[in-house]
Amino acid sequence: MNYTTKAYVAAALVTLSLSTAAIAAEPIKIGVTGPFTGGSAPMGVSMRDGVKLAVADINAKGGVLGRPLQLVERDDEAKNERGVQIAQELINKEKVVGTVGFINTGVALASQRFYQEAKIPVMDNVATGSVVTKQFVAPEFKDNYVFRNAANDTIQSAMIVDEAVIRQKHTKVAILADSTNYGQLGREDLERALGTKGIKPVAVEKYNLKDVDMTAQLLKAKQGGAQVVLTYGIGPELAQIANGMEKLNWRVPIIGSWTLSMGNFIDNAGKNGEGARMPQTFIQDPNTPKRKAFIEAYQKAYKIDRIPSPVSAAQGYDSIYLLAAAIKQAGTTDGVKVREALENLSTTVDGVVTSYNKPYTHDDHEAIKPNMVVIGEVKGGRVILAK
């Protein structure tokens, strides 16, 4: 081999080496979608910010499979049609290997089919509608690409009813739910849970997003003799329920879905929101080293004291670690293999909400079980563990 040939071979090897390194360092794209503006923004922004913290942690330790994680963020504005557009863009244009997010049940139900068709895992880290993980199940579908790490509404509704009927011993119950898919599906879950206790609500009332006066709905509940008001809603309208009760000089307990923990309820309701109770997977309390580190990192990164939606932030953080663990176990970003890894994770994932030990199976895509959820209470402008 002459000098010229050796030079060409050496150059080719260098080029190949550089190309291989470039391929190895190619980012793994992960979509993150949710409402970053509008009434649901406290949930969406908190979720996204939790996701970003997890990605920063993972990348600081070398990424996954030797490649950095790269987020592709999109604001779905809590609109079903926008969610559909984003799903197609993330899959077809951005070539994401998975997506985390979905705050609103309606947006999730409208958008997930594109991930299912593309065989790309999607991790619902906030949307709680019971049907969310059941859109694509057997026998019609062999495999399901929709996973969740949030407490579904079947879990929450049972806890709400137990709190109202068993612990607080109320027998006359009113339900106020918003008109979204989330609110109405949650209402159905509440009515079913009440039915198991032999209780029929004295009033079941609906309100719309952006409603500012709940007088009519609250009067029906009051006139029906309600001893407690159960709520299912996604936005700041929840505060109008508490404030409306004050205007009527009618004070009964408010127990509702996890969204009563959001900052926009606590701040807008003020003293009228004190004592409201709700299921929580995570309370902003540094009661474990992992939670302490997460809370401090969030506060430092975003320069705030109280996380707008602690549940969303923690579940967002954990969703990335679950997806990353599956990609690492699969040894590839191939959607089928990542789904299979999620369904049979061989290592425990140390999360903020909990330590996930085999959180999923082929037929169970719900990471959060009833024993992982607690009841929180609004007290002094924050959520604490209810006693």
What's the pLDDT tens digit per position in 172-222? Answer: 999 999 999 999 999 999 999 999 999 999 999 999 999 999 999 999 999
Nearest to 176 by CA among 140, 213, 204: 204
160 plus 274 within the same structural domain: yes
32 plus 142 within the same structural domain: yes
Check residue 1 and give its pLDDT. 53
Is there a domain that residue 22 lies in?
Answer: no
**Which of 11-20, 86-95, 335-344 is predicted least confidently?**
11-20
67 plus 216 within the same structural domain: no
Nearest to 250 by CA among 210, 208, 212, 220: 220
101 plus 186 within the same structural domain: no
**Half-sphere exposure of residue 243: CA atoms within 13 angstroms, side-chain side:** 15
8 A C-beta contact, residue 254 and residue 356: no
| CATH code where residue 323 lies | 3.40.50.2300
User: Residue 2 pLDDT more than 60?
Assistant: no
Percent of the chain at pLDDT > 70 equals: 94
Tokens describing residue 19: 């190309």
User: At a CB cut-off of 8 Å and minimum separation 6, what does 199 contact?
Assistant: 165, 171, 173
Is there a domain that residue 383 lies in?
Answer: no
Position 236 confidence tier, pLDDT thresholds 50, 70, 90: confident
Mean residue pLDDT of the chain comes to 93
What's the pLDDT tens digit per position in 99-116? Answer: 999 999 999 999 999 999
Which whole-number Å values give the CA distances from 261 to 47, 239, 273, 279, 291, in the listed order?
Answer: 14, 11, 10, 9, 17
8 A C-beta contact, residue 49 and residue 126: no
Is there a domain that residue 19 lies in?
Answer: no
**Which of 6-10, 213-217, 270-274, 281-285 is predicted least confidently?**
6-10
- Total count of domains within the chain: 2
141 plus 233 within the same structural domain: no
356 plus 336 within the same structural domain: yes
Over residues 359-375, the mean pLDDT reads 98
- What angle (nearest 5°) sits at the alpha carbon of residue 207, between those of residues 203 and 208? 165
Give the three-class secondary structure for 307: coil
Over residues 11-30, the mean pLDDT reads 57
Check residue 25 and give its pLDDT. 79
Domain boundaries, position 342? 28-151+286-369
> Which one of 258, 280, 302 terminates a domain?
280
Over residues 253-272, the mean pLDDT reads 96
What's the pLDDT tens digit per position in 285-331? Answer: 999 999 999 999 999 999 999 999 999 999 999 999 999 999 999 99
**Can you tell me the distance from the alpha carbon of 22 to that of 302, in angstroms, rounded to the nearest whole number?**
32
Is there a domain that residue 6 lies in?
Answer: no
